[in-house]
Amino acid sequence: MRRTPTMKDVARAAGVSVMTVSRAFKRDTSVGEETRKRIHAAADDLGYVFDSMAANLRSQRSHFVAVTIPSLNNANFAATVEAMTARLGAAGYQVLLGHTGYDILREEELIAEFLSRRPEAVIVTGGRHTPRARSLLSNAGVPVVETWDLPDDPIGHVVGFSNAACMDLLVDHLAGQGYVRIAFIGGDAGGDTRGADRRRGFVAAMQARGLDATRLIRAGQPPISMHEGAAAMAYLLDKAPDTEAVICVSDLSAFGALTECQRRGVSVPDDIAIAGFGAYDIAGICVPTLTTVDPCPAQIGDRAADLVLTLIETPGGPAVARIEPVLKIGQSTTRDP
Amino acid sequence: MRRTPTMKDVARAAGVSVMTVSRAFKRDTSVGEETRKRIHAAADDLGYVFDSMAANLRSQRSHFVAVTIPSLNNANFAATVEAMTARLGAAGYQVLLGHTGYDILREEELIAEFLSRRPEAVIVTGGRHTPRARSLLSNAGVPVVETWDLPDDPIGHVVGFSNAACMDLLVDHLAGQGYVRIAFIGGDAGGDTRGADRRRGFVAAMQARGLDATRLIRAGQPPISMHEGAAAMAYLLDKAPDTEAVICVSDLSAFGALTECQRRGVSVPDDIAIAGFGAYDIAGICVPTLTTVDPCPAQIGDRAADLVLTLIETPGGPAVARIEPVLKIGQSTTRDP
DNA sequence: GCCTGTAATGTTATCGTTATCAGCCAAGGC
DNA sequence: GCCTTGGCTGATAACGATAACATTACAGGC
C-alpha cells in the first residue's frame, strides 16, 4: 500500500528542502522561478496533495468559517449561505456548514463540534441559543455573528432585521387597503423563533391599530409546509368565514393556503386576501402573485461575510448591521377600487 | 490576551499526564472513574475545547466526509444531504458540504480544496467531471461515491438512477393516456447534465414509440426556474398550439408552465397536460396536482452514507446501488374518460 | 576591497494531539 | 515466594506542515 506523498517526498524529488516546497505552494513568497517549476512538476508527478490539516495546526489558522442554519431545504437560507460562500471562498476561507433542524439543542452540539475544528469565525442563524452554546461562542476567541434576527442580547455581532417589524409592513399595507378582519397562520410555538417573532409582530401591529388580533391559526410544528398552510386555510374558511385577509408565516404556507382557496372556488383576493413572507420564487409567479416581504437573504450573507473578513483581520467591538426588508405587493392583496 | 488552553493545561490542573487527559476524552479507554471526573471538571473549569485539528493530524483520521452538490437551493439535493448528514453524523463523521453551481470547473476546485482537508470519503453529485477532478478522486486513496446518476464510466462507487429512464416512465404514462403530440421543456445544453440526460431520455422514449420527438423547447441556462418554465410554456402555446402534453425538466419549471396556462385561461389537463420531475412539495399541492417522478432523494442519501461507512471500515471494489424512481400520477395528466 | 542590502534557500523547533511501549500495582494461582 | 494477569498511568516520539531565524550568493555603492 503506497503511502500518500508528503512535502518531504516532493522535496527529495525536486532536490530542495521541505521549506522551499512549502514556500513554492504559497503566493508572495520568494522562490526562484526555476525552482518553483521544478517543485510543482515533482508534486504533480508524485500526485502530491497539500495537507491543510498539518498546515493549520502549525500556523494556527484553519481557514474555516463555521456557519449554522436551521434547514438546508429553504431557499432563503440557501441564498444567504451561497452569498457567504462566494465572498468567504474568494478570500480563501472554507465554509463549514451545518443545519440544526430548528433545534437549539442540536445547534449546541453542532457548535461544539465545529469549535473543535478551530474556525476563525462563527456565523449562526437567529438569536436564541442554549446557555452552553452562548458560553461556548463567547469564549471561543473568534468573531461571532448572529443573523436573520435582531437579538435583545447579542453574543457578538449581528446582521439581521426585525421579524416583528416585517409584520408591521404587511399589516400596514392590508389596513391601508381597508382590510379589518385579518388572521395569521403560523406554526405552533416551537423551534422556529423567527416565525414566533413574526406572530408576535402581527399581534403587536394589529393592536397598535386597534384591530382584533385573535384570529391566530396554529398549523403544526414549525416550519410549516405548503400542506399545513392549506389545512390551516381550510380550518379558517370553515370556522371564521368572515375573515377578509390572512397573513401567513411564510410564502410556502401562503401558497398552500391559496391552493385551498382554489380548490374551494374561493377567489383571492376578491373573497379573501393572502400575504406571505420571504419573497420566494413562487410568490412572484403563482396566480395571483402573493404579497410578501423580501428579507434580502443574499444581502445578509454578503454583509455577514464582509463583517467576518474585517473582524478576522482586526477584531472589533460588537456591531449591529441592520437589514431593511422590502414589502413586495402582489395581486393577492390588491382590492378592486 | 489569554491563550486558549490545551490538554497540557488540563493535565496540569488535574494533576495527571496529557496522555491520561487524551484518554479521558475518548470512549472505551481505561481511565479511572475518579480521574476521569477530575479531568472533565478541570477541562470545564478552564474552558478547554478539544482541538480536532491536532488530533486529526496525529491519528491521520479527519472524520470528514466531503460532499458536493450542484446547488444548495434545491429541495431534493437538500434532502439527500440531510439524510447523509444524519447517518454520517451518528457515526461520528462531519459532512464538509460544497456546492458547485452546476459547474464542473468549480467542482474541480472544490474537490481539490476538500482533498487537502483529508476527508475519509468523497461523495459527489453526477457522473460528469473534469479529467483532473477524476484523477484527483481516483488517486485520493479514499472511497468515492457518485450519486444522482448512473455514469457509464464510474470513478468508484455509485448510488443513483437513470435520469433517462425516468422520462420513459412519463412518456409511457402519457402515451397510455392517449397523448401523442408531446413536448419537452428544459434548459439549454449546459452544466446540468442530469437535465440533459432527461432531455435525451425523452427523445429516446418518444422515438421508441414512433412518436415525434422534435417539440423541444430550450428555456435558458439550466437549472431553469419557475419563470423560465412559464416563458417556455408561453412560447409553446404560441408556436405549437396543437401540443397535447408537455414534460418539463423539473417540477419547478412545470409549475411555472402551469401558471402560464392559468394566466391564459388554458385548462390543465383538458387543453394541455403537464408533467414534471422531482416530486417537489409543490407538485403535490398545486391545482391541479402535477404528475411527476420521485427520485427518492433521502434514499440516495441514506444509501450513499451507509456505503461510505462500510467502505471506510473495509475498502471494497466498485459497486452500483440502483435507486428506482417512482412515477407519481397527479391531476395534470389525467384525461377525462 | 569592504560593506550593505536583498533574494533565495536551509535548519531547527515547534503546533496539540495520539500511537506505542513501558512501568506500576494489586489480586490471584501455584 | 514468584509469576502472571489486567487495570491504570506515564514518557517519548511522531503526524506534516510552517514560523523564525540563519545562511549563502551576488550585486552595487563607496
**Residue range B87-100, pLDDT digits in tens:** 999 999 999 999 99
Q: Is A249 left (phi over 0), alpha (psi -120 to 50) or beta?
A: alpha
Read off the pLDDT band of B189 (50, 70, 90): confident
Q: What is the pLDDT of residue B283?
A: 98
Residues paired with A275 in a beta bridge: A247, A291
Distance CA B103, CA B264 (A): 36
Nucleic acid strand C within 7 Å of B18 CB: yes
Distance from C-alpha of B302 to C-alpha of B310, rounded to nearest angstrom: 12
Domain B163-294 has CATH 3.30.70.360: no
Give the count of alpha carbons within 13 A of A323, CB side only: 28
Q: What b/e string do you get for B150-160 counting C-beta neighbours within 10 Å, with b at 16 or more?
A: beeebbbbbbb
Spans of chain A below 50 pLDDT = 1
From the centroid of its chain, how far is CA B337?
39
DSSP one-letter code for B291:
B
For B327, the 3-state DSSP assignment is strand
A 10 A CB-CB count for A141 gives 15
Residue B34: per-residue pLDDT = 87
pLDDT at B2: 59
Which of A266, A320, A250, A301 is CA-nearest to residue A80? A301
Give helix A193-208 / helix A163-176 axis angle, nearest 10°: 40
Provide the strand spans (E) within chain B: 64-69, 94-99, 121-125, 144-147, 157-160, 182-186, 216-218, 245-248, 273-275, 292-294, 320-322, 326-328
Could you give the maximum distance between any two Cα atoms of chain A, in Å?
A: 85
Residues whose C-beta lies under 7 Å from strand D: A 3-4, 6-8, 18-19, 22, 25-26, 50-51, 54-55, 57-59; B 15-20, 23, 30-35, 54, 57-58, 60
Cell of B194: 442530469
Could you report the per-residue pLDDT of A108-148, keeping only the tens digit for each? 999 999 999 999 999 999 999 999 999 999 999 999 999 99
What residues does CATH 1.10.260.40 cover in chain B? 7-50
Which nucleotide is nearest, taking the CA of residue A26 and each C1'? D18
Q: What is the DSSP letter of A143?
A: -
Parallel, antiparallel, or unpaired for β A144-147 and A121-125?
parallel
CB proximity list for B245: less than 8 A, separation 6 or greater = B174, B179, B181, B182, B183, B272, B273, B274, B275, B333
What Rg value do the Cα atoms of chain B yield, rounded?
A: 26
Q: Exposure string (b/e) for A192-225, b if CB count within 10 Å is 16 or more?
A: bbbbbbbbebbbbbbeeeebebebebbbbebbbb
Q: What is the pLDDT of residue A1?
A: 47
Using DSSP's 3-state secondary structure scheme, residue B249 falls into: coil
Mean pLDDT, range B283-292, rounded to an integer? 98
How many whole angstroms separate alpha carbon B281 and alpha carbon A108?
Answer: 30
Q: Which DSSP string do the residues of B120-134 spell out, in sequence order?
A: SEEEEESS---HHHH
* Cβ–Cβ contact B285 with A under 8 A: yes
* CA B70, B75, B81, B84 torsion-angle sign: negative
What's the average model confidence in pLDDT over B194-203?
95
Q: Is B53 on the interface with A (CB under 8 A)?
A: yes
Type of residue numbered A7: M
- Rounded distance between C-alpha atoms, residue B143 and residue A137, angstroms: 34
Measured from the Cβ of residue B242, the count of other Cβ atoms closer than 10 Å reads 8
Distance of CA B229 to the CA centre of its chain: 22
| The pLDDT of residue B337 | 59
Q: Is the peptide bond before B151 cis (omega within 30 degrees of 0)?
A: no
Give the residue from A256, A245, A237, A257 showing the smallest Cα distance to A206. Answer: A245
**Tens-digit pLDDT profile for residues B233-274:** 999 999 999 999 999 999 999 999 999 999 999 999 999 999
Q: Say yes or no: domain B7-50 is CATH 3.30.465.10.
A: no
The per-residue pLDDT for range B24-72, each reduced to its tens digit, is: 998 777 788 888 999 999 999 999 999 999 999 999 999 999 999 999 9
Residues lying close to strand C (Cβ under 7 A), chosen from 46-85 of chain A, are 54, 57-58, 60
Contact A52 B287 (CB under 8 A): no
Q: Which residues of A fall within a CB distance of 8 Å from B56?
A: 53
The residue type at B131: P
B79 touches chain A (CB under 8 A): yes
Cell numbers describing residue A12: 527529495
Buried b (16+ CB within 10 A) or exposed e, B76-104: bbbbbbbbbbebbbeeebbbbbbbbebeb
Give the helix/strand (H/E) hosting B89: helix B75-90
Q: Which of residues 139 through 158 in chain B touch A, CB cutoff 8 A?
A: 139-141
User: Would the Cβ of A31 be found within 7 angstroms of any atom in strand C?
Assistant: yes
Within an 8 Å CB–CB cutoff, is residue A81 touching chain B? yes
Which CATH code, of 3.40.50.300, 3.40.33.10, 3.40.50.2300, 3.40.250.10, is assigned to B62-161+297-324?
3.40.50.2300
Q: Are A118 and B282 within 8 A, CB to CB?
A: no
Between the alpha carbon of residue B56 and those of residues A52, A117, B50, B107, the distances in Å are: 11, 10, 11, 25
Strand C reaches within 7 A of the A116 CB? no
**Whole-number percent of chain B with pLDDT over 90:** 90
How far apart are the CA of B20 and the nearest CA of chain A, in angstroms? 19
Which chain B residue has the Cα nearest residue A79? B73
Please tell me if residue A69 touches chain B, with a CB cutoff of 8 Å.
no
| Nearest CB to A78; choose among B72, B226, B285 | B72
Report the distance separating Cα A170 and Cα A176, nearest Å. Answer: 10
* pLDDT at residue A192, rounded to an integer: 78
Instruction: CATH 3.40.50.2300 in chain A: give the residue spans.
Output: 62-161+297-324, 163-294
Q: What pLDDT shows up at residue B20?
A: 94
- Chain D nucleotides close to protein (CB under 7 A) are 7-12, 14-20
Assign B216 to helix, strand or coil: strand
Which of A85, A117, A262 faces B52 most closely, judged by CB atoms?
Answer: A117
Termini Cα distance of chain A: 79
At a CB cut-off of 8 Å and minimum separation 6, what does A112 contact? A136, B49
